Every structure is written in structure tokens, then in C-alpha cells.
Structure 1
Amino acid sequence: MVAAADAEGLERFAVLGYSLGGNVAVRIAARYPERVTALVLTATFARAGQWLGSITDLWSEPARRGEAELLARLLVPLTLSPQALEGLTDEQVEAAVRATAASFPPGGGDHAALVKGADLSADLARVGVPALVIATTADRLVPVELQRAVADALPGARWAELPTGHLPFVERPQEWAALVTRFLAELPELPELPELPELPAHRG
């Protein structure tokens, strides 16, 4: 991720992480404090705990066997809020299952193992940039209690809530985007970076 920023010529940047991507975002902020200006986390967890750990145990086996439709039938009702799910017809649920199954990349079993083995305890305490935690309060995959623990462990983190399942950008995309952009817009202007001296050419 940092190499991608280098390739785009970005000296400093904000990082947004969603779900397990929040773990990646926290690690970047903790390990590259001179590069990261702000952190936004949505539906993120520091540790899987018993509930999410049990779900990933169920998730991992069909993922390893390539049973995409079975895995989708498990995850669709867990990622949508009860309100959103009950608002769908049978045909729409089937369409969501097919679309979800078609979207799975290779490596789903490894993905599940990463979720279960996640532990951000040390990294969260090292983050020193402005942070916003957007909680998905109707989330049946990552319980809001796990998301609250992330905010509590981040020094000075702001907390916001959206009454959605695990997919806020599907259920309430405009509200989710507004929370993100408003937070970033309120950040103070960054000071200019000092010029670094040129290093002598290495002669091997």
C-alpha cells in the first residue's frame, strides 16, 4: 500500500479501512506515522472474539473447497442488516447470493484465517493521527461491541454510527460518504515537509 502511494507521488495521505481492511489501515498508520495524516475505519475489529471467530470457522471450509454459492448463502444474511434483508423479495435475495458468489476472489480460506488471527492491540496504541471510527450498528458479522473496542483503543478517536449491516456503502452510501468527507474536510492544513538532503550515490 505504501509502495502504491510512492508510485503515485504521494508524500502523505489519509487511509480508509473497511472490515479486515481496517487492520491493514491501522498497521500502515502505526508503522508509517510520518506518512499518514488521518485514519478512517468502518466495521473494523481489533480481535475477532468468539462470535466472529466462530463465523470464520464456518466460512473457511466452503471457501477452501471453492463452494462459492454455499458461502454466499452464509454471508448474505450476515452482511445485510435485518431491515435491509427483510425488504428484499425472494428473487432479490437469490440475485444477491449469485452476485456475492461471483465476487469472491481466490484465497477465501486464507482470508478467514486472517480474520480469526487478527490482533491490533499493540498497533492501535501507537496510532497518533486523527481517527474516525464509523460503527455499523446493525452489523451481524462484526458486532458493534468489537467496533467500540477499536475506538476505545485509538487515542482520541471520534465515533460515528450508521444503522446498517456490514455493508454501509450498499445500505446507506450517501450517509457513509458524508461522514468520511466531513471528517477529512475538518482536518487542519498540513505543514510543508522540510527538504531532505540528497544522499550520496551508493557504490557497491
Structure 2
Amino acid sequence: MPTATATYARTVRNESGGPGLLLAHGSGGSVEGNFGAILDGLAATHTVVGVDYPGTGGTPRAAAPLVLDELADELVAAADAEGLDTFAVLGYSLGGNVAVRIAARYPERVTALVLTASFPYADNQLALIAGVWSELAGRGENDLLARTLLPLALSKTVLEGLSPEQLAAVVRDTAASLPPGGGDHAALVAGADLSADLARIGVPTLVVATTEDRLVPLPLQQELAAAVPGARYAELPTGHLPFAERPEEWLGLVREFLVNA
């Protein structure tokens, strides 16, 4: 059942009248933040529904620790409210875990999965990073958190291409945009393990790996693809933020797969 700890803000784009597509965003993101750059393209062919997790976008922060099943159930509840009986799910980063859990809990309703920059479990590196993220967010040290995350989220090419003035501006803007619930999301990353769910996925699945990612390393993303029976695999030469570095290429991979799934 949906959680009673917060009223989840919903994004809906149904002008195309196409099949359902649920959007599961990443830790510290939002529907607009993670999918805004490709939302028009997705909505051209699908009825798109997403929710902001507690503490980000238009959703207030939850009073209790977040639970992956509740995030999954809230996204499905939004689909119910929009009259979608079946749907594909596009998950980015932590949203890939949400998407997999939806497929595990509602297998008769999911038609396809697209998992981008995601992971089957938190390895030691990712768990340590997520733990630092959660702790710094809890202390309100947004400037230090931004300086910690940016070298991991941006590809080296993009990061080193910034002038000192541009880098200072990016740090400042990132710190100002960090949502109050980002640390709560990161706590879910630290304890993630979807290994049991992945082996049971029975729908067409595309894993889009971000090859220059230093937050979720490429080998971990490849391990995710190998764990899903029959999964297709594609690569984007980008850091952890494909919507910022290569949105059109990301959109193209997603749309081509969904049309043919």
C-alpha cells in the first residue's frame, strides 16, 4: 500500500495517448531534474507518469526512513490514478532499483524495463559514497556535499573542461539545488541489493550503461545487465548524468527500445 508519510507530487504527460511509461528518478533528483531534458520526447509516444520521492521536487520530506517497496508502490498508485493497467518503467540510478522492484511486485503489469546508470547492489565503493552523502546531507553541509559529488557525477572530460569560474558556479548551483531528502535517498542506495529480483525479471529489458561514470562504475552496471535474463545492453560515453551530457542520445536509445520491445 502507498505510504502515508508524504503526499507524492506527480508529473503526468498524456497528450500522445500512447502506452504507459513510468519514470523512476535517482537519488537527490526529481522527475523534472532527471528526465526534464527528454520528457517531451518520451511524451511524444507514451503516456508518461512519474512521482517525486519524499524530500525532493514537490513532495515533502517523509518523517520515517524511506522503504524501496513504498517508492515502487507509490509510482504504481500514480499509474492507477491515471488509468494505466500496464506500463513500461524507465529507471535512472536509484530509480533502476525502484523499476526492478515494481517488476518484482507487479509482474503482470510491467511490459518492459529500461535501467540507466543503475546497479544490482551497492558494492563497497558505492556504499561508502552513499554513506558520506547521507551524513553530509544530514548535517546540512551542502557545499561540501556538492564538492564531493561533482567529481563523481560528471565525466572527466566535462569536469576538466570547466574553467575555474565555471567550476565555482557549478559547485554553487549544485549546492543550492540539493533537495532536503537527498540524504534519505542515499541511505536507500547504501543498503541496496536487488540480486534476487533481477533473476526473476521476465520482460524485455534494456540496460544503458554510462561508461565514464565514477559514481556507479561501469563493471557494476555490466553486472546488472548480466543478471537480467535476456537483457539488451547499450553504452553511452557519459558520466553519471546522461540527461546533462548526452540527452538526445539517451532519448534515442530509450525510444528505439520501447518501440520495438
Partner of 2:92: 18
Task: Point out where structure 1 has 5 or more consecutive residues left out of the alignment.
Answer: 188-204
Q: Is 1:8 matched with 2:82?
A: yes
Residues 77-133 of structure 1: per-residue CA shift (max 9 Å, x gap)? 110000111111112212221222122222333222211100101111111100000
SS at match of 1:15: strand
Distance in 1 of aligned mates of 2:91 and 2:239:
16
SS at match of 1:40: strand
SS at match of 2:199: helix
Match of 1:51 among 117, 125, 137: 125
Distance in 2 of aligned mates of 1:132 and 1:158:
5
Residues 135-193 of structure 1: per-residue CA shift (max 9 Å, x gap)? 00100000011111111110100000011100011111111110000101112xxxxxx
Match of 2:243 among 169, 172, 196: 169
Partner of 1:156: 230
| Structure whose CA Rg is larger | 1
Q: Is 1:113 matched with 2:153?
A: no
With CA pairs under 8 Å and 6+ residues apart, which has the higher RCO, 1 or 2?
Answer: 1
Partner of 1:61: 135
Q: Is 1:27 matched with 2:101?
A: yes
Sequence identity percentage: 72
Match of 1:124 among 195, 198, 201: 198
Match of 2:153 among 68, 72, 79: 79
Q: Is 1:182 matched with 2:253?
A: no
What does residue range 89-108 of structure 1 map to in structure 2 within 5 Å? Answer: 89-108=163-182
Task: Point out where structure 2 has 5 or more consecutive residues left out of the alignment.
Answer: 1-74
What TM-score do you get using the length of structure 1 for normalisation? 0.89
What TM-score do you get using the length of structure 2 for normalisation? 0.70
1:58: how far off?
2.2
Structure number with the higher helix fraction is 1
- Which residue identity does 1:5 align to in structure 2? A
> How many matched pairs?
187
Q: Indicate if the aligned counterparts of 1:64 and 1:107 stay in contact, CA closer than 8 A.
A: no
Distance in 1 of aligned mates of 2:147 and 2:121:
25
Distance in 2 of aligned mates of 1:119 and 1:28:
14
Distance in 2 of aligned mates of 1:95 and 1:172:
21
Once superposed, what is the RMSD of the aligned Cα atoms?
1.0
1:52: how far off?
0.9
Distance in 2 of aligned mates of 1:58 and 1:113:
10
Query: Hey, which bits of structure 1, 4+ residues long, moved more than 6 A?
Result: none
- Which residue identity does 2:117 align to in structure 1? A
Q: Is 1:136 matched with 2:210?
A: yes
